[in-house]
């Protein structure tokens, strides 16, 4: 499968847009951190197991990004 993700070096003052909405990277990052808790990996794992797809725990643990 071809990878379509291209990492860009950016700082908190750079902006990203989704349609007509534009956000500073720093603000978006803060909101994402607050929106997701450490259970997101577990929740994803449980949904995938239902389908049945199993991912080892070590792969889905989120790093501390604070």
Q: What is the rounded average pLDDT of the residues 3-23?
A: 82
pTM here is 0.46
Indicate the domain borders of the chain: 1-35, 37-66
The pLDDT of residue 20 is 86
Q: Output phi, psi for 17, to 5 deg.
A: -120, 145
- In angstroms, how far is the first alpha carbon of the chain from the final one? 32
Spatial distance between the Cα atoms of 22 and 15, rounded to a whole number of angstroms: 7
Q: What is the rounded average pLDDT of the residues 43-64?
A: 68
């Amino acid at each position: 499968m071809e990878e379509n993700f291209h990492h860009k070096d950016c700082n908190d003052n750079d902006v990203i847009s989704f349609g007509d909405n534009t956000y500073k990277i720093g603000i978006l990052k803060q909101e994402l951190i607050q929106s997701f808790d450490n259970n997101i990996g577990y929740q994803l794992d449980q949904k995938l197991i239902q389908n049945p797809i199993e991912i080892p725990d070590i792969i889905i643990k989120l790093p501390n990004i604070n």
